Structure 1
Amino acid sequence: MMAGNELHLKTRPIPGGATLFTTLLIATFVSLSVAQLDVSQVEVDALLAIKRGFNSLSVLASWNDSGVGVCSSWVGVRCLNGTVFSLGLPGKGLGGFLAEEIGNLTGLRKISLHDNAIGGSVPWSLGALPALRGLALFSNQLTGSIPQNLGNSSSLQQLDLKDNLLTGPIPIGLALPPRMNLIDLSGNRLWGGFPYDWIQSSSLESVNLARNFLSGTLPDQWNAINSSALRTLDVSDNYFSGSIPPTLGVRSNLTTFRARNNQLSGNIPDELVQLNQLKVLDLANNSLTGDVPSSLYTLPSITYFNVERNSLQGPIPPSLGAATLTTLHLSSNNLSGSVPEQIGGLSNLISLNISNNSFSGSLPRGIGNLTLLQYLLLANNSFEGDVPEEVGNLTSLRALDMSRNNFSGPLPMSLLQLTKLTSFNVSYNNLSGAIPPFPQAFDDSAFLGNPGFCGVSPFPLCPDFTAPSPSLSPANGTRGLIPVSSKGHRLSTVAIVFIALGAALALLLLLCLCFFVVVRRSDDKKGSAPMGFSSKGMESSMDSEEMVGKLVHFDGPLAFSADHLLCATAEVLGKSAYGTVYKATLEDGNIIAVKRLREGIVKGQKEFESEVGTLGKMRHPNLLALRAYYWGPKDEKLLVFDYMSCGSLAAFLHARGPETPLTWETRMKVTMGAAKGLGYLHESQNIIHGNLSATNILLDARMNAKISDYGLSRLMTPQAMSGLMATAGTLGYRAPELAKTKKPTRKSDVYSFGIVLLELLTGKAPVEQSSSDSGMDLAEWVSSVVKEEWTSEVFDVEIIKGASPHQEEEMMNCLQLALVCVNTSATSRPEMEDVIRQLEEIRPDLRSSPESELTSGPDTKR
């Protein structure tokens, strides 16, 4: 009955043309339904199968069962010409497994599912994807073996499976795809040998097999093909044995070779000295013997050199020419001889560890030139002689271990300048005399084994004990000389009496000084302005310039005298080629920043005053204002600036805690501020910065960027400037042409700005020795990632999470601008005015009105 009625209704004419209307309505509905399916039903079904395999379905709520909006609204899915070409869901907390149906997405080029909790095996069907270029499944919980057929994907360029639970041998043919340039299988449980067929690849640039259970010998046929593509080779933390292959020296573009924590033996091949591009060499904790080839120390690009915990012998050669070195670790070997004076030329050295060897002789005084050094470890050698006064110049030091040597004489008082020191040990030497009154509370064990020490329990009282006066000077950067706090001990009664007498004497001297200042101020009130200032902020002389010096103020919100400046409590903030910067707290509680210029590098007083007067008049909202300068009676030169409460961009970007966010809006604000400050220097003042970096871009309480250290070259003598130009630019920010010209230009400033912009976009420091791609600098790394169409992997996870499509577009545009700025060809880089214009096009809300761009005149008091 129903069937008959249905047939009757289908054939029965309906008055008014209803049949035609119904037909059109059905056709329209069908066509709309088809139009809403962006991709084929096969791909919709494959995506839904993938969704069912995961167990964090709230993340994939947009993946509806109807298949509507795949290309427009499904999170993590991107389409091209009606097919899915990218699946990207990194860091979404996904669990479960990756379904085999992913192989039905035949147009897939990129799969990015890293930093999740996906388990199960790697789908075999991935090897059948004809267009697959990049597979990023790292930092998951994948198990089982690596599918053998992954090498069949002829388009595959990057394979990253690191930090999973994969087992079994590495399949043959994985490096067969002709454009394969990166394979990272580190941090798994793979066993077997190094895949010999990989050395036949002419495209592989980066190989990382670290932290597995691989064994056997490394292949020695690296010269089998004429290929220089390989840049990174990391086989650390395995069980490889045998010798280091000499033929590795033919890979002329190799920048990183890590083989630490293996069982390698024999000599370090002389052929490695051919690797002129090598930046990182890490052979620590093996069984290597023989001398270290002396030319390795002078490789032109080397930054990280670590051969500790081997059985190497011989001296450190005097031909230490690798000024690029930041890390030199030679500890726990059989090295001998003296440390050459030339070690003081390693101006970028941050960590020096030569402990547990047989070095002898005195410690070279040139070591005091290593002003960036943070770790100096000399324990268990045969050093003798005194501890050089110059060690006190190493104000960046955090750890100093000189224990178990033959050092003699007293510890120099210059060690009190090491205010950042947290680890200190001079035990078991032949040291004598009073222990300096360190402000840090070091444990007694740091001083044991030196029977000549005195002054602090458990050591006897010094025969001529006199407590140092608690004076304060910006030159030492400490809050007086505070006696050592020896845990669990008290000073003797005699010592306390002497300390009290010394303190009373110091207090009496301080009262006398204050009385003298009050009397002089009372005399000055008869004039038109307080002592040390004129009513218009111009230069004024002291009553006795030879004794007190000259203080000159420029426009600014604070008023202070020379004695207020010199009596301010001071804390070291940093050190540069120009001098040391202090955070100084004035008597009234106001805080300023004071740069104490190095001795012997500044022009004569007349020329200095002319040049510094020009700098003092420069005012721009994105330049750190010079507020005053002081010329002391003994050529003490101090520059006074505003204090920036948020410190440098480098510290804020790389050392802040997770509770302090750095949003995309703030990063754009900082970028625009730095660009405008640099543009003002170039266009309005004709000043080239020459050393722009994230360290000298400072941030105020409102996260406004202020460029510092500009124009200081004008204050220097030609001789000092020639020395500074020889190392122009900070490591990581230095434009490539500076290696030859030694002369900064506007275009080298633009390169440095581009690196700062890349830092803000990626969250990475310009040189990160701990990363797996430490062989590349930041610009090289970003360019290589973009080249392989993995651009989304460049950005800092902090800003990419939750970013709107509009913000993602801004990030992409900023990335393109940054890459233009860091072009290796200086002539291809834009001028800063063009950079500012492009940034304003990217973010019109950051465009300033003309009247807001201050060019001169006083600042408002903040």
Structure 2
Amino acid sequence: MQAQCTVCLILLLFVVELVIGRSDLETLLEVKKGFKEDPSGKVLISWDSKSLAADGCPRNWYGVTCSEGHVTSIVLNGVGLIGMLDFPAISSLKMLRNLSVSDNQLRGNVTVEVGFIESLENLDLSHNMFSGSIPLELTDLKNLVSLNLSMNDMEGDIPFGVGSLEQLRYLDLHSNAFLGNVTALLAQLGGVLFVDISGNKLFGSLDLEARKGYSSFVSKVKYFNISHNNMSGELFPHGGMASFGSLEVFDASYNMFAGNLPSFNFAASLQILRLGNNKLSGSPPQGLLQQSSMILSELDVSHNELEGSLGNINAENLKLLNLSSNKLSGPLPGSVGRCEVLDLSNNMFSGNVSRIQSWGNNIEVIILSSNLLVGSLPNETSQFLRLSSLKISNNSLDGLLPASLCTYPELKVIDLSINLLNGFLLPCLFNSTRLSYIHLSSNTFKGTIPIEAMTLQNPALITLDLSKNALSGHLSLDLIRFRNLESLDLSNNNFEGDIPTNLSDTLKYINVSCNNFSGPVPQNLLRFPNSAFHPGNSLLVFPHEEVKLNGTSYLSSARRGPRLKFAVIAAVVAGLVGTSSIVALLMYMVICKTHQVDGGMENCAKGSTLSAGPTSDLSVRGLPAQTRKIEAVSSSISPTRIQYPSKSPKPLKVSSPDKIAGSLHLFDCASKFNADDLSCAPAQAMGTSCHGTLYKAVLESGHALAVKWLKEGILKNSKDFAREVKKLGNIRHPNIVSFIGYYWGPKDHERLILSNYVDSPCLALYLHHKNPRTQNA
């Protein structure tokens, strides 16, 4: 009898285990219903109710791990799941210790049921689209060691009860929209070793000595990232940095910290320090750049307000130093230790650039752009064996390109633009198997592009910018061998001849304007806008457009018939309209003469120079006494917004060039102004017609333009408008002022036609024969 009871008890326990196993199975099948799409096919296919182990637990289900008949781990990272995660269902998995579904497209709120999984040790929901706030119930997970909710759309306060998670060692909440005071949060994180709360809306200071409760946190934390928040105040104003005995990585960049930069002399374990994009002042942290700094490998204090000079760098382990965009001055350091990446750009360093020749063979990236450096590049061939990027643009370097540039075996990027370099380009630059980016614009290089006959199967060049030099000659046909070329800028030179056909189809940008190219534009380049070829290159031929021979315009045979007929009709109509306008104007002037000949001519003489601004006399004669600024800004261009009479024209300031929404097209390379210059030019209304209003605009350089602001609704689309304006711009006649360009904005009323302003006497002077042509003398 006792034996029978034992057998029954064993069978009962087996049935209980089987029921529990089925319960976990049913839970997973319920979770599966929330997954709407599975691009990888790994989850929805493998999660099959028929695939079970002997103990009733899922077998060979992707990402599912069982132990003793219970689901203990679900790991579905990076499979691209789309849908919802059923937290109420998952909460019934009472033995689940690991739930990780990062890098998917799961959405919805993290519901309160997540706090019911008491066995959970690792929760990773990162890189999804979860929203809402962190439920307070999550703080009931007493066994939780790692919590990662980063890169979601969550918001709200971080629950105060997070301090009760005594086992928590890893906290990653970065890239959300969490709110709250950092100072209050850190007081709860006594045993956490990794804290990343960057990329949120947190505020507060780092005055960790102002109250009690921080000693455990500052003594244990190894990784601390609070970057990209709204932090302010001084950094550790009471010397709190010295208490971080274990800190290895500290990132407080992209905040609003101010005050003097701490010395960090006592952070013995610090390996990475990032404080860029704040308002820190004082001197460079020289103590971190000396040999006594034992293990620091990365230092970034860029985009601050540091001042003073920079001494020699002797730190043995420092690999990356970024002090760019400060106010540092003086000569370049004589040594950089074992630094591999050095960025000192956008400062006020001065002196001779040749000091870099003592920087050794460990350096890989040199960035010294936008300083006050002078002199010639060193021609040493036994150094820079690891140099991959050399950027010294926007300085005052002079002399020739040193031949040593071709001896650096790892060199991939050269940027020496905006300097005073001269001479000829080096042929070896274009035969390199490694050089990918060449930026030599805005110098005074001459000669041709020395591309020799290449035997290379795969030249590495991706970007070539030789604009704004004095280069000339024909382009080598070997230019087509750069099959990886994505950006080509040869504008503002003196190149001539044909543009090579079959340039790389990988091209994403090309600019050959302001040269003397001729012949047909290659078919594969017609996808680029007209600004890639004009202004300049007057002899370039575009398919399906007019071709000029001996000063006479001819149309292609495909367009000649109907277009020619339309052109004749348009010319006749325009002639009749023009004749009628002249007759009407003559009659008007005759009437004016009978009433006020002397007064009229006096006013014309005064108004012809337009230097005194608008007057009431101009208004009497039909010219509106108005002044305004020609604004090339989409939100503000409007011919109806006119400032009425003032003592002098006052330009309306444009707050940022980024607001210029339209595009300015100039037909002549001799015109040296842009949309920003035009938008800042004070303007005076000169007259109106059925087509719009004519203004005189004076650029900052003093050059005067006649700007025709066209009325809304009379224009074609941008392509037709551009074609017609260019045709008119090509007209040359001693009695006609030619167009020099046009502005096309995103709004219907943002259309301007530009020409040079001609300061000549008005028509009345000629009609009355009172000293014509000499009125301004």
CA distance in 2, matches of 1:490, 1:410: 15
Per the TM alignment, residue 120 of structure 1 is displaced from its structure 2 partner at its CA by 0.8
Equivalent runs, 1:693-732 vs 2, <5 Å: none
Equivalent runs, 1:182-221 vs 2, <5 Å: 182-194=170-182, 196-221=184-209
The answer on 1:329 being equivalent to 2:319 is no
* Map of 2:274 onto structure 1: 282
Q: Which amino acid aligns with 2:80?
A: G
The answer on 1:47 being equivalent to 2:41 is no
Q: Which amino acid aligns with 1:282?
A: R
CA distance in 2, matches of 1:94, 1:468: 51
Q: Is the CA contact 1:98–1:123 (under 8 Å) kept in the aligned structure 2?
A: no
CA distance in 1, matches of 2:200, 2:357: 39
The answer on 1:410 being equivalent to 2:400 is yes
TM-superposition CA deviations, 1:338-387 (whole Å, max 9, x none): 222221x22xx332111111112223546455434332111121223332
Equivalent runs, 1:32-43 vs 2, <5 Å: 34=15, 37=18, 39-43=20-24
The answer on 1:233 being equivalent to 2:191 is no
CA distance in 2, matches of 1:446, 1:415: 13
CA distance in 1, matches of 2:447, 2:244: 59
Per the TM alignment, residue 142 of structure 1 is displaced from its structure 2 partner at its CA by 0.6
Q: Report SS of the residue matched to 1:403.
A: coil
> 1:280/1:114 Cα in 2 relative to 1: closer, same or farther (>3 Å)?
same
> 1:485/1:276 Cα in 2 relative to 1: closer, same or farther (>3 Å)?
closer
CA distance in 2, matches of 1:443, 1:180: 47
Per the TM alignment, residue 90 of structure 1 is displaced from its structure 2 partner at its CA by 1.8
Per the TM alignment, residue 311 of structure 1 is displaced from its structure 2 partner at its CA by 1.0
> 1:390/1:300 Cα in 2 relative to 1: closer, same or farther (>3 Å)?
farther
Q: Is the CA contact 1:365–1:390 (under 8 Å) kept in the aligned structure 2?
A: no
Q: Is the CA contact 1:416–1:437 (under 8 Å) kept in the aligned structure 2?
A: no
CA distance in 2, matches of 1:428, 1:53: 58
* Map of 2:302 onto structure 1: 308
- Greater RCO between the two (CA within 8 Å, min separation 6)? 1
Q: Is the CA contact 2:150–2:176 (under 8 Å) kept in the aligned structure 1?
A: yes
Per the TM alignment, residue 28 of structure 1 is displaced from its structure 2 partner at its CA by 14
Q: Which amino acid aligns with 2:123?
A: L
CA distance in 2, matches of 1:470, 1:396: 28
The answer on 1:112 being equivalent to 2:100 is yes
CA distance in 1, matches of 2:166, 2:376: 61
> 1:295/1:490 Cα in 2 relative to 1: closer, same or farther (>3 Å)?
closer
Q: Is the CA contact 1:78–1:84 (under 8 Å) kept in the aligned structure 2?
A: yes
2:343 paired residue among 353, 356, 379: 353
* Map of 1:446 onto structure 2: 440
* Map of 1:87 onto structure 2: 74
> 1:66/1:411 Cα in 2 relative to 1: closer, same or farther (>3 Å)?
closer
Per the TM alignment, residue 61 of structure 1 is displaced from its structure 2 partner at its CA by 4.3
CA distance in 2, matches of 1:436, 1:426: 13
Q: Report SS of the residue matched to 1:407.
A: strand
Q: Is the CA contact 1:308–1:332 (under 8 Å) kept in the aligned structure 2?
A: yes
Equivalent runs, 1:479-494 vs 2, <5 Å: none
Q: Is the CA contact 2:202–2:231 (under 8 Å) kept in the aligned structure 1?
A: yes
* Map of 2:137 onto structure 1: 149
2:289 paired residue among 292, 297, 313: 297
> 1:210/1:226 Cα in 2 relative to 1: closer, same or farther (>3 Å)?
closer
* Map of 1:518 onto structure 2: none
> 1:372/1:223 Cα in 2 relative to 1: closer, same or farther (>3 Å)?
farther
> 1:212/1:455 Cα in 2 relative to 1: closer, same or farther (>3 Å)?
same
Q: Is the CA contact 1:38–1:68 (under 8 Å) kept in the aligned structure 2?
A: no
> 1:337/1:431 Cα in 2 relative to 1: closer, same or farther (>3 Å)?
same
CA distance in 1, matches of 2:233, 2:300: 19
Q: Is the CA contact 1:38–1:71 (under 8 Å) kept in the aligned structure 2?
A: no
Per the TM alignment, residue 48 of structure 1 is displaced from its structure 2 partner at its CA by 3.1
* Map of 1:255 onto structure 2: 248
Q: Is the CA contact 1:37–1:68 (under 8 Å) kept in the aligned structure 2?
A: no
Q: Which amino acid aligns with 1:162?
A: S
Equivalent runs, 1:553-702 vs 2, <5 Å: none
2:160 paired residue among 157, 172, 179: 172
> 1:75/1:420 Cα in 2 relative to 1: closer, same or farther (>3 Å)?
closer
Per the TM alignment, residue 435 of structure 1 is displaced from its structure 2 partner at its CA by 4.3
Q: Report SS of the residue matched to 2:107.
A: coil
> 1:92/1:449 Cα in 2 relative to 1: closer, same or farther (>3 Å)?
closer
> 1:196/1:248 Cα in 2 relative to 1: closer, same or farther (>3 Å)?
farther
* Map of 2:150 onto structure 1: 162
Q: Which amino acid aligns with 1:239?
A: N
TM-superposition CA deviations, 1:470-502 (whole Å, max 9, x none): 999xxxxx99xxxx9968987569x99xxxxxx
2:377 paired residue among 377, 387, 393: 387
List alignment gaps of at least 5 residues for structure 2: 477-777
CA distance in 1, matches of 2:357, 2:16: 73
Q: Is the CA contact 2:413–2:438 (under 8 Å) kept in the aligned structure 1?
A: no
Per the TM alignment, residue 62 of structure 1 is displaced from its structure 2 partner at its CA by 4.6
* Map of 2:233 onto structure 1: 242
Q: Which amino acid aligns with 1:91?
A: G
Q: Is the CA contact 2:392–2:416 (under 8 Å) kept in the aligned structure 1?
A: yes
Q: Is the CA contact 2:103–2:127 (under 8 Å) kept in the aligned structure 1?
A: yes
TM-superposition CA deviations, 1:696-733 (whole Å, max 9, x none): xxxxxxxxxxxxxxxxxxxxxxxxxxxxxxxxxxxxxx
Equivalent runs, 1:462-541 vs 2, <5 Å: none
* Map of 1:317 onto structure 2: 311
CA distance in 2, matches of 1:185, 1:75: 27
TM-score calculated relative to the size of structure 1: 0.47
Q: Which amino acid aligns with 2:64?
A: V
TM-superposition CA deviations, 1:561-582 (whole Å, max 9, x none): xxxxxxxxxxxxxxxxxxxxxx
CA distance in 1, matches of 2:452, 2:52: 80
Per the TM alignment, residue 403 of structure 1 is displaced from its structure 2 partner at its CA by 2.4
Q: Which amino acid aligns with 2:259?
A: G
Q: Is the CA contact 1:134–1:159 (under 8 Å) kept in the aligned structure 2?
A: yes
CA distance in 2, matches of 1:250, 1:260: 20
Per the TM alignment, residue 278 of structure 1 is displaced from its structure 2 partner at its CA by 1.4
Q: Report SS of the residue matched to 2:32.
A: helix
TM-superposition CA deviations, 1:226-283 (whole Å, max 9, x none): 453211111122222222224133112111111222222112112x221122121111
CA distance in 2, matches of 1:49, 1:71: 14
Q: Is the CA contact 1:280–1:304 (under 8 Å) kept in the aligned structure 2?
A: yes
> 1:168/1:115 Cα in 2 relative to 1: closer, same or farther (>3 Å)?
same
* Map of 1:785 onto structure 2: none
Q: Which amino acid aligns with 1:234?
A: N
CA distance in 2, matches of 1:443, 1:72: 53
Which of the pair is proportionally richer in strand? 2
Q: Is the CA contact 2:446–2:470 (under 8 Å) kept in the aligned structure 1?
A: no
TM-score calculated relative to the size of structure 2: 0.51
The answer on 1:267 being equivalent to 2:260 is yes
> 1:443/1:176 Cα in 2 relative to 1: closer, same or farther (>3 Å)?
closer
Q: Is the CA contact 2:354–2:375 (under 8 Å) kept in the aligned structure 1?
A: no
Bigger shift: residues 213-222 or 88-97: 213-222
Q: Identity across aligned pairs (percent)? A: 29
Q: Which amino acid aligns with 1:288?
A: L
Q: CA RMSD in A?
A: 4.0
CA distance in 2, matches of 1:387, 1:50: 65
* Map of 1:437 onto structure 2: 427
Q: Is the CA contact 2:354–2:377 (under 8 Å) kept in the aligned structure 1?
A: no
Q: Which amino acid aligns with 1:77?
A: V
CA distance in 1, matches of 2:170, 2:413: 40
Q: Report SS of the residue matched to 2:265.
A: helix
